[in-house]
A and B are shown apart, each in its own frame.
Chain A
Amino acid sequence: MSKRLGTRVVRKEDPALLSGRGRYADDLPVPAGTLHAHVIRSPHPHADIVSIDATAALAMEGVWAVITGVDIKKISDPFLVALKSPIHQWSLAVDRVRFAGEPVALVVAENRYLAEDAAEAVAIEYTPREAAIDPVEACKKSSPLLHAEAKTNEISVRTFRYGDTKCAFETADKVIKLTVDFHRLSFTPMECFVAVASHNPADDSYDCMANFQGPFSTHPVMARALRVPGPKMRLRIPPDSGGSFGIKLSVFPYVVLTALAAKITGRTVKWVEDRAEHLLAASTGPNRVTEIEAAVTKDGKILGLRMDQLEDYGAFLRAPMPGPLYRMHGAITGGYDIANIDVTNRVVLTNKMPASLIRGFGGPQLYLALERMVQRIAIELGLEHLDVIRRNLVQPEKFPYRAAAGGLYDSGDYPRAVETAVGDGRLDYLKKRRDEAREAGRKYGIGFAVVVEPAMSNMGYLSTLLTPETREKAGPKNGATSMVTVNVDPLGAVSVTADVTVQGQGHETVLSQIVADRLGLQPGDIDVTLEMDTAKDQWSIAAGTYSCRFTPGTAVAAHMAAGQLADKLKRIAAKQLNVMAADVELADGKIRSISNPDNALPFGRVAGTSHWSPVMLPDGMVPALSETGVWNPPELEPPSSDDRINTSLTYGFVFDMCGIEIDPVTYQVKVDRYTSMHDAGKILNPLIADGQMRGAFAQGIACALYEEFVTNEEGAFLTGTFADYLVPTVSEVPPVEMLHIESPSPFTPLGAKGLAEGNCMSVPACIANAIADALGVKDVRLPATPRRIHALMASNGGVR
């Protein structure tokens, strides 16, 4: 029977979602008498809260409570953070607000309309303070301090040295420097945050429901804030979620807030975020200022790099921040064989929305700096950009390749990927287009970007930010556990649960393909239930859907669980078929002898034996047909004493190439042609994989050309609607040609790598390089809006 894994199986999820039968967080029933909450938010980026007078609001009909920071401070603790720094964040502001949009009070009423009415009657007096907005300024002694106890806004500085970078710079033919700014943006899932909570005073337990996405390492953070052990903070996650892209991790402070409101009011409390709140205060990717220097030979070989990365996390450091600064750490040299690199990572806090998870997670920031540098090397040495790339790529014979900072690249053939992409006349076409355009006096540029795309994060990577001595004391952190359970019922029906949250990636379909193949069934025979309940489902701190952990992680656990079950069924059947277990296979819905396929039993009949007739089982076999696969690959080691860390399990490869032209009238950047080459190892479902890559591509375009959270110098937030924060529609997303080669990962049984983040990382760098080529400029700020392009051209004398 043909295997279904690796084929374009259409999604099992779709019929319900296409018929209005999705079950998203706001669709699920709540108990009669549920109260509804509205968050009152700070209008100031930085201010002291002088007083909150809720008398008038509380007198209004249907209003149950107006909860303030003073109230929640009595019954909850600040959220745990990864850094031992005195930065206290509760689910409401206490005494002081530190960003425009920070929750200050929660109005709880019989419906949302009443809660919003009452909010207008709450009188809050603030004394504004000067705000720290610019990350570089915020590091200076003269800057206003966000957290007085921390004594500085620059709350973490770590320098890492790999190889002999000093020597590399001394012996280089040339040293090239560049400063790269990466902006703030989000991928704004279409469904906003939802949190519902109730409290049982009998045992002081909380029952919460939210469209949380993980990582579940955040569950202990919530439970600790609520001052209860984990099992007393039950968290359910609905079967459907309207997108996440990292953003829905940041519902967690609101899970705690609604839980506290439930405790205070004695009723179930529900909160649904609206779009204005989401844009203002939900979550952003961190902005980063990178000073990068390269030591190069005159033929373009990179001998060493120095990087100073200053990352701005906004007003608070929320778990698991500063992840984006460290998630790429082991792969900080990207696709290049560079032995010597010094890196300084600095974390700064400013009076802006807190930064957190976002698709790409540190990759877009890293690659914009690294890939802009590679283009600059070409310009300053008078070489072709592509030749500098070729000269520095990791060569295929080096795999598995240990990168300077510790990343263990599993497999790949980077030169082949690059040559395949530029071949078949693709690059020639772009050059021809560029020549024609330039001949006619138009601005046309060609860009390239090389990206190594990590997947499934090592849970120990963030501990790299601690010194080796501190890590020694705290004990090693490492690994990433994935868990999937496969059950077979008395009639042979198969069901699956897994440690992921649904966001639209088609996990239900892919898991059913994997399990069906192992059990000799069809994907339609496998029921996959992915709503999550922390009280009843298998999960670890690594659980959730983020950093492309499904394919190298959960998918493998499913393969293992179904394999364990298949082995058990073979042994049961062997006894009944009178053959050796080694002669048994599961195929076509039957369990049969390989040497004599007519000697067969229906799958369901063998399953029934375990349930109804344990007496017929092989000696010593435990009866239940329920197997949990647990996958924890050994390659995910803790950071070494010299700070090397294998940050992820698999490393895919992406090579992008594009031609862009600047519209001479509107100054818009128009993508003429875009090609993206991927090597993600084995592809589990090409239909779904293609959808993931095209989605990431559109978000890469959004980042490169359209989306930015803008805060002015005083700290006012200027992009609070979809009319100001420009999400691309179909008209703004150009076509892209996707190419593939396959270098299976030797580190996972399925050989498959993550692939859903690469284009978020590559597109901004590729477009920026094309703009630099078109305009002959060094500094390209993203998003490259018409206003910015016009300014660049004006400063360059290029405006007619």
Chain B
Amino acid sequence: MRRVNKDEKSRISLTLNGRKMAAEAEPRMLLSDFLRHSLGATGTHVGCEHGVCGCCTVQIDGTAVRSCLTLAMQAEGRDVKTVESLAGPNGRLNTLQQAFQKHHALQCGFCTPGILMSFTDFLSRNPKPTEEELREVLSGHICRCTGYAGIMAALKEAVGIS
């Protein structure tokens, strides 16, 4: 196992949205801070820093995680995906993103990246979930603007529940 001195910065390398990237960080730096401020991926948002709100959700090796409860070090050498990875190269929104726009599933948009990243993971493993399962996953996220109605409508459309 790699050993690091707690007071020293070390180089952390990872793959972010398909591109190899690296920056210096102290061992205590959170992955959320590292992504936002060291790598410039500001699409990941920080809403509570204690793992409740879900705004900061990203994927590591395809699994949704709270980046505010993850140290940057823990992502060393791994494949990290953030909300910036979802749209096509020409900015074309994917099916889930389009459904969010159609159903007004976001207002301020601050919680949205986390929700999209949770469901991108979940739906890759469960492409045909029930409404209850969607609700269960969504309950891991706080949205203060929408009352969740638009989000549920968008999720249901994206998975083909009429």
Contact = CB atoms under 8 A, between A and B. Distances in A.
Interface of A: 10-11, 13-15, 17-22, 24, 26-27, 113, 187-192, 240-245, 274-276, 503-506, 687-688, 690-692, 694-699, 721-723, 727, 729-731, 733, 735-736
A18 B110 contact: no
A17 B146 CA distance: 15
A245 B144 contact: yes
A386 to B, nearest CB: 26
Q: Interface on chain B toward A: helix, strand, loop, or mixed SS?
A: loop
Contact of B135 (A191, A723, A731): A731
Given A18-B87, A113-B28, A694-B146, A721 B108 contact: no
B47 A275 contact: yes
Contacts of A695: 107, 144-147
Nearest to A188: B144
Contacts of A274: 49
B50 A22 contact: no
Interface in B67-111: 82-84, 86-87, 91, 93, 97, 100-102, 104, 106-111
B100 A18 contact: yes
| Pairs A-B, 3 closest by C-beta atoms | A20-B43, A242-B110, A17-B109
Contacts of B60: none
B115 to A, nearest CB: 10
A187 B144 contact: yes
B159 interface: no
Contact of A504 (B29, B36, B108, B148): B108
Contacts of B28: 113
Interface string B122-156: 00000000000001001111111111111110000
A221 to B, nearest CB: 25
A113 B49 CA distance: 14
Given A723-B52, A730-B138, A687 B104 contact: yes
A20 B84 contact: yes
**Residue of B97, B106, B145, B152 with highest tally of chain A CB at under 10 A:** B145
A688 B55 CA distance: 22
A729 B53 CA distance: 9
Contact of B48 (A19, A24, A699, A722): A722
B22 interface: no
A18 B112 contact: yes
Q: Is the interface of A mostly helix, strand, loop or mixed?
A: loop
A19 B47 contact: no
Contacts of A19: 43, 83-84, 86-87, 91, 93, 97
B41 interface: yes
Given A19-B97, A245-B144, A275-B47, A14 B42 contact: no
Contacts of B50: 275-276, 721-723
B45 interface: yes
Contacts of A698: 146-148
B13 to A, nearest CB: 21
B157 interface: no
30 contacts: A11-B101, A17-B106, A18-B83, A18-B93, A18-B116, A20-B41, A20-B44, A21-B43, A22-B109, A22-B110, A26-B46, A113-B26, A189-B110, A190-B45, A190-B110, A191-B110, A192-B47, A243-B145, A504-B106, A504-B107, A505-B107, A687-B104, A690-B104, A692-B107, A721-B48, A721-B52, A723-B50, A729-B139, A730-B148, A731-B135
Contact of A20 (B29, B82, B144, B147): B82
